Amino acid sequence: MKILKIILVLTFFYCVNIFSQNLSTRYSQYGEMIVTHLHNASFPDTGRANGYTYDSTFYSAKDHYMDSTVAVFIPKGLKSGNSINLVVHFHGWFNNVDSTFAQYNLVKQFSESGKNALLVVPGGAMNVPDSYGGKLEETNGFKKFINELMDTLYARKAISNEKVGKIILSGHSGGYEVMAYILMRGGLTKYIKEVYIFDALYADKEKFIYWFDNYNGKLIDIYTRHGGTKRETTRLIADLQGWGIPFVSFNDENNVSPFDLANNRLIFIFTDLPHNYVIYKRNEFEKYLKASCLPNIK
């Protein structure tokens, strides 16, 4: 984990240096980016009111746990219809909302998928090695967050109605924890149709599988050799075999076809990519969305 920590720190400082435009205007060629602050966002939260210590380093609440930023990307041509579909992505360690968009090419991939949905990226623990999801881990915390988000967007006339449609959860690295608790007690579990785990299955596998088995969900888990997730993923695969739960597993990411992604509900994919490349290097985020249950804009 120390090697992974060093990689994430270096990547973060690299990303800081490539920001050339304000987040709200950086992606105007693809659509509209709305940056707001919500009371029901992850932070600030009492769970980190006194800061956090990891690996003998202290991270203060003031510097790392006060950011309530939420960014929403609205692709060109979005059709509100009777409800609004959402793709909610959670960043991992040593990141924030701005660096997540810059580093992982989320907007371009989302736009290229052509899906009729909003892309939502809530701020998590800011620039710190911490997976804690703050208020979004509480009972009905995700429901409160989404309700406030929809109210805010409707008031700004960014959307024409506030009804939530289908939801896809996506998370990289430390983003797994908040997703697990959202599935377990977030209050909108019946709306969550798909979950994408980008080299992030460090723990809480029972929460993901309970959701998959009881809510007819679709789960894609892509993992690496050195990201710290291979052991937990192989254990889960062995458990599924023992329980007789059907799944598909690919030992080479390049052998996964759009048909495979679209026609299976439980998918494990091994990649030779490094931990920080799994979302964007081969456009995996875009591929999963293209094969998803979300309707197309056109």
**pLDDT score recorded for residue 208:** 97
Average pLDDT value for the chain? 93
Position 3 pLDDT exceeds 80: no
DSSP one-letter string for 233-275: HHHHHHHHHHHT---EEES-GGG--HHHHHS-SEEEEE--S-G
- What pLDDT band is residue 18 in, cutting at 50, 70 and 90? very low
**pLDDT score recorded for residue 8:** 52
Residue 59: phi and psi, rounded to 5, are -120, 115
Residue 141 lies in a domain: yes
Cis peptide before 44 (omega within 30 of 0): yes
Percent of the chain past pLDDT 70, that is, above it, reads 93
Residue 227 lies in a domain: yes
Q: Strand 118-122 vs strand 84-90: parallel, antiparallel, or unpaired?
A: parallel
Average pLDDT over residues 284-292: 98
d(CA 257, CA 274): 21
- Of 21 and 12, the structure prediction assigns the larger pLDDT to 21
**pLDDT score recorded for residue 21:** 67
Percent of the chain past pLDDT 90, that is, above it, reads 91
Q: Strand 266-270 vs strand 69-75: parallel, antiparallel, or unpaired?
A: unpaired
Q: Amino acid identity, residue 123?
A: G
Residue 146's CATH number: 3.40.50.1820
Q: Amino acid identity, residue 225?
A: R
Residue count (the chain): 298
Average pLDDT over residues 237-254: 95
- The most distant pair of C-alpha atoms in the chain lies apart, rounded to whole Å, by 52
- What pLDDT band is residue 14 in, cutting at 50, 70 and 90? very low
**pLDDT score recorded for residue 104:** 97
pLDDT, one tens digit per residue, over 194-223 is 999 999 999 999 999 999 999 999 999 999
Residue 226 lies in a domain: yes
Sheet with 248-250, side-by-side order of all strands: 31-37, 69-75, 118-122, 84-90, 164-172, 192-198, 218-223, 266-270, 248-250
Residue 296 lies in a domain: no
Where are the strands (E) in the chain, listed by range? 31-37, 52-54, 57-59, 69-75, 84-90, 118-122, 164-172, 192-198, 218-223, 248-250, 266-270
**pLDDT score recorded for residue 227:** 87
Domain ranges, residue 115:
2-290
pLDDT, one tens digit per residue, over 69-128 is 999 999 999 998 889 999 999 999 999 999 999 999 999 999 999 999 999 999 999 999
- Nearest Cα neighbor of 103 from 289, 274, 294, 288 is 274
pTM of the model: 0.92
**pLDDT score recorded for residue 9:** 52
128, 52 Cβ separation under 8 angstroms: yes
Residue 295 lies in a domain: no
- Of 227 and 241, the structure prediction assigns the larger pLDDT to 241
pLDDT, one tens digit per residue, over 146-198 is 999 999 999 999 999 999 999 999 999 999 999 999 999 999 999 999 999 99
266, 89 Cβ separation under 8 angstroms: no
Number of domains in the chain: 1
Residue 119 lies in a domain: yes
Tokens of 37: 């602050």
Residue 158 lies in a domain: yes
Average pLDDT over residues 38-43: 98
162, 254 Cβ separation under 8 angstroms: no
Position 225 pLDDT exceeds 90: yes
d(CA 100, CA 96): 6
**pLDDT score recorded for residue 17:** 43
d(CA 81, CA 153): 15
Residue 298 lies in a domain: no
